[in-house]
Structure 1
Amino acid sequence: MEILLLFMALGLTGVSSLEEDNKVCQPHSRPWQVSLGGQRTSCSGALINEWWLVTSANCAPASNVIASLGEHDLTVDEGTEQHIPVAEVIRHSPYRSPLHSLAMVRLAKPAHFTEHVRPIGLPGRCPQPGESCSVSGWGSTVPNQYESPKQLKCLTVPVVDDQTCINTFPDFLYWSMGMVCTGDVNGTDNCLNDASAVLVCNGQLQGVQWFRHGCQNAEHPSVYTKLCMYDDWIRRVMASYTPTTTTARVLTSKIH
């Protein structure tokens, strides 16, 4: 009887085989974070001015996608959101290659800056090995554990030197100067299962997630597009593609 009561008590406490995921951000502490997926998929971008956001190539949205700004919990209406259609997508060329993973997304109308919606500054320098940075996105922070996107998650991670990162690459993956890696080699706080999770160091946008290696093996760094290498390209795209239409288009930039 005592054993039966013990099992009943464990059942009532909601014991689960899933690990607890408690890396929720302070609500609205990342006002530049943009959701490009919604409640069923997880994909992020970073707002860099009232018209533009950046994301990774594999997260570049198709037509009819809505960019959601001012979000924290994707499952509820918090009254802080701005839902704006995507008007134009410009992928870095060559995209979806071993060399580049970056896309810029123009909104159909400018974002209205508020306490909950603000841009993040582009990098004025490149991140340094050992530097402590913040990663934010929607999705699980537990390796090999999936969950539907809900509340925004935040991790604090160190920048990893290039050679340490290269040593973890599988044979089919090539290193690019457009990559930067982060993660705890001791196997903790190294996974955020959100395509294009946003990397910020010292208040500057430094990366968008490229490969989530830390979500398959906690001892492997995760890979981000090294945005300090693309500052000129980003600024040229913003100067060249002026807001002229609200019809969504996906383009390959010929600007290098």
Structure 2
Amino acid sequence: MNLLLLAFTFGFAGAYPLEDQKECQPHSRPWHVRLHGSVSCSAALIDKWWIVTSFHCQPTPYKTVASLGEHDESVEEGTEQHILVSDAIRHNPYRSPLHSLTMVRLSAPANFNQHVQPIPLPTRCPQTGEICSVSGWGSTDKNQSDSSQRLKCLTVPVVDDLACLETFPPFLFWGVMVCAGQNTTDNCLTGSSNVMVCAGELQGLKWFNNGCEDPTHPTVYTKMCEYTRWIKAVMDRYTVLTPSPPHLTT
């Protein structure tokens, strides 16, 4: 059912004329979440109660809003669900800087529809040369600091792990990461915790934005396939201790 809804969403969005070729087709990434309030970051919806984001994007509970079903952050499109964050759980054990992952629990469940859908967790790791999609509200111009008001999308290839480490020798002991992007592709998208999806599965959350500093360098993402077991364990053992407040707005 989820795959059918996603297919419908991509098909519907394809008819929308875009002024900016790097702007995502509106609502073609129904799993993409905008965190705002105590932080300003992207995240990915993986369950009606849960989203994931990078370590440094840990939000403050009840002071951070997760906006789902959003494309243009400057207007209310009628598709949004704005839900307060109730809990943030950083990867444990965390031995800086080896892991970059935060699980975020919503204070109320998301309502799945055409515009809000979870992205499946990885069933495998990304393959070298595989073409993936990266989305976020940043700028694709390294000289422009202002974020985009509309969701941007890039298409990037996965880079070989050895080539990634040879490019960034200091990252050798930095933990589980995957690199994507190269000089012949659009390789710059600013913003925190941009979401990388490969073959319909969540494969990365942006860690280091190297592609904007040097277009010949790939960008580094958290390698999500290595965290599936931990994510599921957190979801399985979590219990609600207090009643959930309602959505802010829908």
Structure 1 length as normaliser, TM-score?
0.83
Q: Deviations over 1:186-208 (max 9, x none)?
A: 3x311111211001000001111
Three-state SS of the structure 2 residue aligned to 1:110 is coil
1:60 to 54, 58, 61: 58
1:47 to 25, 45, 65: 45
Q: Distance in 2 between matches of 1:124 and 1:216?
A: 32
Distance 1:140 1:232, change over 3 A: same
2:182 to 181, 184, 188: 184
Q: 2:159·2:181 contact (CA, 8 Å) conserved in 1?
A: yes
Q: 1:85·1:107 contact (CA, 8 Å) conserved in 2?
A: yes
Choose 1 or 2 for highest CA Rg: 1
Distance 1:99 1:177, change over 3 A: closer
Q: Distance in 2 between matches of 1:203 and 1:184?
A: 21
Distance 1:176 1:234, change over 3 A: same
- Any unmatched runs of 5+ in structure 2? 1-18, 246-250
Partner of 1:201: 198
Q: Distance in 2 between matches of 1:97 and 1:21?
A: 38
Distance 1:66 1:201, change over 3 A: same
Partner of 1:253: none
**How many residue pairs get matched?**
226
Partner of 1:104: 103
Q: Distance in 1 between matches of 2:180 and 2:243?
A: 37
- Supply the RMSD in Å over aligned alpha carbons: 2.1
Report the CA distance between 1:145 and its aligned residue.
2.2
Q: Distance in 2 between matches of 1:165 and 1:77?
A: 40
Identity %: 61
Distance 1:58 1:21, change over 3 A: farther
Report the CA distance between 1:139 and its aligned residue.
1.0
Structure 2 length as normaliser, TM-score?
0.84
Q: 1:95·1:102 contact (CA, 8 Å) conserved in 2?
A: no
Distance 1:135 1:96, change over 3 A: farther
Distance 1:95 1:143, change over 3 A: farther
Report the CA distance between 1:215 and its aligned residue.
1.2
Report the CA distance between 1:37 and its aligned residue.
2.3
Report the CA distance between 1:170 and its aligned residue.
5.8
Partner of 2:115: 116
Report the CA distance between 1:94 and its aligned residue.
3.9
Greater alpha carbon shift after TM alignment, 174-183 vs 155-164: 174-183
